[in-house]
Structure 1
């Protein structure tokens, strides 16, 4: 491995470590752990996943109805309205915004979207 390549990888590791120390990442991790520990939220997640899977199966067979879709949306709305889940989603959005800013900073000197299209082929 070349010295330049090792240096770039080390910079990547350092960037990851710095991101892990940001308030946004710490908030996200705290919120994620709170979701995992909350039995009510976990039950609601399981219920939502079951309802969503039933809807997806009905859709695959052509039997999904508008009321089935509304049932999925209602279950998701109820899940997302739970305070612990709401905090997780807010923290996730905040972290995503921070990571998008990092992506833009990395991409700017490269003239490509590092996190989005750098691996693609034949893109205009």
Structure 2
């Protein structure tokens, strides 16, 4: 359903813009943006992710040798223990918590589950 009244639509869009700006100014969102940028640009992380993707393709195309399996496990351990990855995961969790809290407040204010009503209609799996 769309907002038919132009004034209502503009008011909702303006309020949405203010909510987005308020969220962007939070430390959680700022840390996530920084951690996400580091995650995407860090050469060590990129190298590990590339290796893991190669191992996944090898596995999907018929399995891995014992040596490849050991190398894949090593890459997984390096990924889990990488400080940039750990910071990204922590920042991601914090921003998810913030967004869940914002959803809860909006839902309580509206008297409905905002996240559920914003999704596609119909049954699920």
TM (normalized to structure 2)? 0.75
**Secondary structure at the residue paired with 1:115?**
helix
For 2:21, the equivalent position in structure 1 comes to 17
Map residues 1-124 of structure 1 onto 2, 5 A cutoff: 2-55=6-59, 57-58=60-61, 75-108=75-108, 109-112=110-113, 114-122=114-122
Deviation at 1:117, TM superposition (A): 4.9
Q: Any runs of at least 4 consecutive aligned residues in structure 1 with deviations exceeding 3 A, and if so which? A: 67-77
Aligned length: 117
Q: Deviations over 1:51-76 (max 9, x none)?
A: 23333x34xxxx568x8999766643
> d(CA) in 1 for partners of 2:102 and 2:26?
12
Distance 1:73 1:20 in 2: 37
Structure 1 segments unaligned to the other structure (5+ residues): none
How many Å apart are 1:37 and its aligned residue? 3.1
Aligned partners of 1:24 and 1:95 also within 8 Å = yes
The Cα RMSD (Å) is: 2.7
